Structure 1
Amino acid sequence: MTCSQIVLLLDILRRTSILGMMSLKTFLFVCLLVGAGESISRADQGKKHGDEAERLQARYTPMVKLIEGCLPAVASLQTFQAQNGGGVFTMGVGSASVIHEEGYLLTNNHVLFRMHQGQAFLPGQPPMLFRIIATMSSEDLALIKVDAGKSLPSLKLGRSDDLMLGEPVVVIGNPGGLAHSVSEGIVSGLNRSTAVAGTFLPGMVQTSAAVSGGNSGGPLINALGEQIGVITSKNLDGENINFAITADRVREMFPILLSAELRYGFWLGLQVEMLGPSVIVQDIGEGSPAEESGIEIGDSIKEVNGREVRDGVDFHLALVGKAPGGRLELQIQRNGEQRTVEVELGELELLKPVAEEGVEGGLKFEGFEGSWDALPNFDELEPVADGVVKVPNEDAYKTDNGDNYGLCFKGFVKAPEEGLYTFYTSSDDGSRLSVGNKVVVNNDGLHAVQRKSGLVRLPAGLHPVTIAFFEQGGDEELEISWEGPGFSAQVVPEDAWFHLP
């Protein structure tokens, strides 16, 4: 007992007249009893707290730690989608992962379909509007950005070339609008194929982790806390048969998804390895600003303008918003030595428009007969039909049974203003679209209807265009769409096609 407790006991005994009847031995014995009871009470309380700590520690499993570490880097998305006319909007939900601390998020293209405005919700952060940086419908990938005003927790983009059947995985996302929901499962299949909104997606990873509408765009995470996939779709005819775009596919497609030089109009002329753990220069364009600066193939880039770049994705993100005439200061490592290289960005050379004198509406076409597994060189074949069509499609010419034929359209497409244009071909079987001498969309091969896209930066005016198409058997389809400055994806209208008579 403490001194204050003894004084308090004496006062209680005095007030109740008990103290006067006690001997000193009796009083000391009472003190011992009270003190012992207090010690036992404290011991019981300490044991209780110890048991609770042990129980909490036992429940704090590696899975809980994994989710605790990854959750702050997973966003729930809410989108408002414009409907046809009338100013009517519907709400959609999806998921995304933070892949860079400056606020870059990876998601699915179909999550952003017809999006007018979108918000991202990250744990511990206020709701943030996001803007679309880049989309790629042919891979169902999209890059968006939030401006948080501070560094955000991010997920490391892992590798998927060594995935093992049965290894544990976690899905974090926004199923049905239930923000930051978690499910677990295993890698249950490799190299699967699926289709989303008419887009054929090969090489997918299959998982048994539960997925519902709203999980699209969210991360598939391995036991190391690395993102190894982007949840994209599920098999509605089975239970827990779900698919994700692999991390390696994201890495491979990222330079095309972002297309920084085309998107912002500058010229660097530098390619880096996308699958390696660092930023290694893989190729340098002849006469490019990169070559003139003295950069060499094999150099390892460590920083861009003072910003650390850890892999190829980081490097390409460091190019967002750059412009012709801007300067890049690169910290590189060559043969074990650190050095600084400065690069002045050039201006991307645009395709030159052609004169509009004498042109008429529509495209010329030639029809061919034959059986092919891939697009032939139609210039070497003899056409069986020709003419002019208002828009290119599979019906310009076809055989009696609709099989084993090909079409080649030539003429001009008119860009209404200078800017970045995305062209799409939706075809069954193969198709290819070229502007000038540049192949913009390659959708070749035998396949069911699938949509592919490509980017090109065009000045305003007429540009030579060639569209090739073939059909071997079964159904046939050819549709050409585009999106550009001030307008969303739509079928290229009749008044955009021209030819010389």
Structure 2
Amino acid sequence: MKAGVVRWLVVATLLAASGASADMARRRDAVVEVVQKVSPAVVYIGTEQEVESRFRRRSPLEEFFGGLGGGQERQKIEGLGSGVIIDASGIIVTNDHVIRGASAIHVVLADGRSFDAEVIGSDAANDLAVLKVSAKEALPIARLGTSSDLMIGETVVAIGSPFGLSKTVTAGVVSATGRTFRADNRVYNDFVQTDAAINPGNSGGPLLNVDGEIIGINTAIFGGGAQGIGFAIPADKVRRIVDELTRFGKVRPAWVGIDAADLPPRVARQLGWDRSYGALVTSVEPGSPAAQAGVRRGDVVAELGGSRIQDAEDFDTRVRGYPARSSFSVVLFRDGESRTLQLTPTEFPSRMVESLAWDRLGLRVKEVKGVLALSGVRPGSVASEVGLEPGDIILRVNNQQVATADAFREALLTARRGRSVLLLVRRGRYGYHITLPFEQDQGQSL
């Protein structure tokens, strides 16, 4: 080959390489940089759960009362989800529903390494869990950012394992913040809404800004994800709950001493409140954090933690997102003026839990030989009317196992703002599911 031809081929090759390099640089936008930076810290989570299945037909009486009688066999089911490493020592954040009830949890890193994980703590009410894996060297991490300065329309990136397809990336924008929606007969509050595609298996994975910071943990899918509507727990809430779970293994029940109700338009007009949102303070427990901060009966709660309060249920849910000793601001409307107060919840007083069980459910419990038994049933209560008696064994409260008085109190604290509580009660050889309504509309103060 002639020397001139060779030189031409070399020049052409160099020019092509230079052009490809320039093209690559042009294509490397913010989303690509985020993915390359953070994807090593996003993990696939696989779970195994053993459940009991019935194989003997129950009698009509057992069917009616939801009895536990009959033969049973154990069956293994598998689940999947996503998570993100936030500490190089192996601390992983995911959703509570991803790992709930799992007998084994397996974590697979982006580089293919696999670990068994232990649960440091989880909280169903906030749908967050903290896992720990042990590795010989520091693991890649993603930094937890803030959700307080999110802008509607800003670009976000979701990374996870939808339908088991690991290392899947979707991009979109922040569609809304502080979003409330209803699904499966439950109201979900204070979410970041995005149009980035989020599908089953994305749960527990990170929602990221263009700086590669975690601004939310993907958790909910609306309408099967087909409408481009996904939700994430905001990063500021994640930080509070994760800190609580890491330090204590659970979220300590918080109490501020406020009982709130929805604000009817007629009452709002009488108070001079001309907005369509807000919750009415109907009572303040003497000596409570709210009383000490200056909250009064008849105040309108307009904002909590910088976001509007839509109604009483929104207020209740938002308060539960702040653990004990974690302060937040509250904007109140009183006498034609708005004022901002700082509230610091304390742990829910145990005396009030016992009062809650007796006054609203008609139950009193005690520990007997390793189980939790009814020690009293209030005459005239719904519990008495359905036939509960002292000596009956309480196995579960709202599907949460309770074998001690402390476990019963914690389960009741979680359930206290609902309209009813589901009990699994054992009498003799049989167990029965019984739903007890809370007996008064206005419950214990939060």
TM-score w.r.t. the length of structure 1 is 0.50
- What stretches of structure 1 of length at least 5 have no aligned partner? 1-32, 264-352, 370-384, 394-412, 426-432, 434-440, 452-466, 477-501
Cα deviation for residue 193 of structure 1 reads: 2.3
Partner deviation per Cα, 1:39-89 (whole Å, 9 max, x = no partner): 222212211221221222222222111110010000011111212153321
Where 1:389 maps in the other structure, the secondary structure is: coil
Where 1:187 maps in the other structure, the secondary structure is: strand
Given the superposition, is the C-alpha separation of residues 421 and 107 from structure 1 closer, same or farther in structure 2, using an over 3 Å criterion? same
Instruction: Please list, as runs of the form range in 1=range in 2, the aligned pairs for 1:63-462 lying within 5 A after superposition.
Output: 63-85=31-53, 86-194=73-181, 200-236=187-223, 239-260=227-248, 361-365=374-378, 389-390=388-389, 415=404, 421=407, 425=411, 433=412, 441=413, 443-445=415-417
Contact preservation (8 Å) 1:128, 1:146: yes
Contact preservation (8 Å) 2:420, 2:437: no
What amino acid is the match of 1:58? R
Contact preservation (8 Å) 2:160, 2:205: yes
Q: Structure 2: how far apart are the matches of 1:252 and 1:156?
A: 15
Where 2:32 maps in the other structure, the secondary structure is: helix
Q: Structure 1: how far apart are the matches of 2:391 and 2:114?
A: 45
Q: Structure 1: how far apart are the matches of 2:39 and 2:45?
A: 14
What amino acid is the match of 2:388? V
Cα deviation for residue 442 of structure 1 reads: 5.4
TM-score w.r.t. the length of structure 2 is 0.56
Partner deviation per Cα, 1:345-383 (whole Å, 9 max, x = no partner): xxxxxxxx99979x98443326689xxxxxxxxxxxxxx
Given the superposition, is the C-alpha separation of residues 163 and 448 from structure 1 closer, same or farther in structure 2, using an over 3 Å criterion? farther
Where 1:157 maps in the other structure, the secondary structure is: coil
Where 1:88 maps in the other structure, the secondary structure is: strand
Q: Structure 1: how far apart are the matches of 2:231 and 2:390?
A: 36
Q: Does residue 56 in structure 1 map to residue 69 in structure 2?
A: no
Q: Structure 1: how far apart are the matches of 2:74 and 2:373?
A: 36
Aligned to 2:309: none
Cα deviation for residue 388 of structure 1 reads: 8.3
Partner deviation per Cα, 1:267-309 (whole Å, 9 max, x = no partner): xxxxxxxxxxxxxxxxxxxxxxxxxxxxxxxxxxxxxxxxxxx
Given the superposition, is the C-alpha separation of residues 470 and 149 from structure 1 closer, same or farther in structure 2, using an over 3 Å criterion? farther
Given the superposition, is the C-alpha separation of residues 390 and 140 from structure 1 closer, same or farther in structure 2, using an over 3 Å criterion? farther
Structure scoring higher RCO (CA < 8 A, sep ≥ 6) equals: 2
Contact preservation (8 Å) 1:363, 1:389: no
Contact preservation (8 Å) 2:122, 2:249: no
Given the superposition, is the C-alpha separation of residues 199 and 252 from structure 1 closer, same or farther in structure 2, using an over 3 Å criterion? farther
Given the superposition, is the C-alpha separation of residues 361 and 46 from structure 1 closer, same or farther in structure 2, using an over 3 Å criterion? closer
Where 2:43 maps in the other structure, the secondary structure is: strand
Q: Structure 1: how far apart are the matches of 2:52 and 2:18?
A: 63
Given the superposition, is the C-alpha separation of residues 367 and 152 from structure 1 closer, same or farther in structure 2, using an over 3 Å criterion? farther
The structure that is helix-richer by fraction is 2
Given the superposition, is the C-alpha separation of residues 144 and 355 from structure 1 closer, same or farther in structure 2, using an over 3 Å criterion? closer
Q: Structure 2: how far apart are the matches of 1:366 and 1:95?
A: 49
Aligned residues with identical type, % of pairs: 27
Partner deviation per Cα, 1:385-415 (whole Å, 9 max, x = no partner): 999834899xxxxxxxxxxxxxxxxxxx963
Contact preservation (8 Å) 2:204, 2:218: yes
Q: Structure 1: how far apart are the matches of 2:386 and 2:420?
A: 25
The structure that is strand-richer by fraction is 1
Q: Structure 2: how far apart are the matches of 1:184 and 1:259?
A: 34
- What stretches of structure 2 of length at least 5 have no aligned partner? 54-72, 252-364, 393-401, 423-435
Partner deviation per Cα, 1:205-247 (whole Å, 9 max, x = no partner): 1110001110111111111111011111111176011111111
Given the superposition, is the C-alpha separation of residues 209 and 449 from structure 1 closer, same or farther in structure 2, using an over 3 Å criterion? farther
